[in-house]
Amino acid sequence: MARLPKARRTVSLQVPALVALLLGLLASPRAALAYEPSLEELYANLLAKAPTISRLILRLHTTVYDPLVAHPAPRADAALPEPPPREQPEREFLQAVYWMRGQLLAIETTSPGGSPLHFYYDEGFRPLTVNAGEKRTFADLDILPPYLPFIEGTLADWRRGLGAWGVLPDRYELARAPKGVVYYRLEEAPGKAAWIDKGPLRLARIDTRIGGDELPISLSIRFNDFLSYGEAAVSEKNMEYPLLTDYFAEGRLFRQTRVADIQVDPPVSRFPVQRLREQAQAEQERRRSSAEAGAR
């Protein structure tokens, strides 16, 4: 009879010990890794890494390949290497990109020989886009650097950057690549997704479909060879930008854009703002005169 109270005291001490053990396990790093953010929290984490830079100048070199020749059908003898992609020098082009956060985006596209091909100018109102060459025409998606909206630092810019390619994610799932890299795959519909590298937490790839329902073509834009730029006190606030952007149609490489030069937060004096604005105003006046002449 006298031993019963001792047994009860022993049991009452074991229960808190078990609770403490469980709390310790739940607080361990391994348990913390099991938590995954909601889509809204994931966007918030991405925006928290937005770089603090205000200005950017890019020099880009784009090489275009023949997708039908670049990756032919699999060979019977798998030991034979595939031939390298065949370049199309006549479709190569260069670009000078001038970006001021919230103020200006101007892009001059030229041939390797310096002949004007396209001019894009946006001061936050109605963008001006002009095809300057007679034999080649460019749509906005042909000349706008696809990674640029994702350094702006707002949710609206992220949605605009993905929406330009027809990707409007409403959910995500974890996906593991063959080499063990883990991604957040933000999805909207089959064939349309944005891939976020979970480690550095940055956009690595955009998948979409073009060509409409009659002739759908899968398009994949892959961002590679990232480098960090800037001198922010918090290293995560430095800008990471891909040196290479590869475009694949139906799994076949057809275009590659390489950063030939990059200037982060250069002085305003390096921006030819006056020349660019005068060029845009001259084009607007030319269009106005053409419209008035056509109305007569």
Q: For 48-72, write each residue's pLDDT tens digit.
A: 988 889 999 999 999 999 877 645 4
Position 197 pLDDT exceeds 90: yes
Amino acid at 77: D
Q: For 153-165, write each residue's pLDDT tens digit.
A: 899 999 999 999 9
The Cα–Cα gap between 176 and 178 comes to: 7
Q: What is the pLDDT of residue 96?
A: 98
Long-range contacts of 126-133 (CB under 8 A, 24+ apart): 128/280, 128/283, 128/284, 130/283
Query: What does the DSSP 8-state code read for residue 265?
Result: S
Position 82 pLDDT exceeds 80: no
Phi-psi region of 178 (alpha: psi -120 to 50; beta: other; left: phi over 0): alpha
User: Is the pTM of the predicted complex or chain greater than 0.75?
Assistant: yes
Mean pLDDT in residue range 133-149: 91
Mean pLDDT in residue range 159-172: 94
Amino acid at 272: P
Q: Are 170 and 39 in contact (CB under 8 A)?
A: yes
Domains of the chain by range and CATH? 54-71+85-295 (2.50.20)
Helices 39-48 and 155-163: crossing angle, nearest 10°?
Answer: 110
